[in-house]
Amino acid sequence: VTFIVEELKAVFDPRGGYYKSGGIYMPSVVAELGLVVEDHMKRIGLIRSDDPAEREALRKKKQALKDAQKAKSETESSAEKAKDAGESADTFPPNAELCHKCHTKAMMVL
C-alpha cells in the first residue's frame, strides 16, 4: 500500500510544479493526491507516522517495560536466593555454631 503512495508522490509535471499555501512545493497535482492519500492512510492507521515525538514516546515506553521486567527478574532472583539460603540454614541443627574457618553455621560441639 505504501508503494502506491510513494509512486504518486514521485510524479513530476514536465511543465513544473507549484507552491501550495504554506509555501510547500508540489511537483504535480498527482503528487498532491499522493500526499492526501498518505495523510488519510496515516489517520486510519494503515501507515505508521514518522513523527519523531511518537517514536521517542514509543522508545521511552519500551525502555520502561524493559526496566520493569529487569527489576522483576532481579526481585525474583533475590527472593530465590533468600529462599535457598533459608533452606540451607534450616538444614543444620539449631545448636550449630559458626565455623571460624569457612564461616558456615555447621560446627557442632560434642
Task: Render 63-77 in DSSP notation, one character per residue.
Answer: HHHHHHHHHHHHHHH
Alpha-carbon span 58 to 64, nearest angstrom = 10
Can you give the pTM of this predicted structure?
A: 0.45
CB 105 within 8 A of CB 96: yes
Q: Which of 38-42, 86-90, 100-104 has the lowest mean pLDDT?
A: 86-90
Residues 6+ apart with CB under 8 A from 49: 42
Alpha-carbon span 89 to 105, nearest angstrom = 7
Identify the pLDDT of residue 89.
47
Identify the pLDDT of residue 28.
92
Indicate the domain borders of the chain.
1-50, 51-110
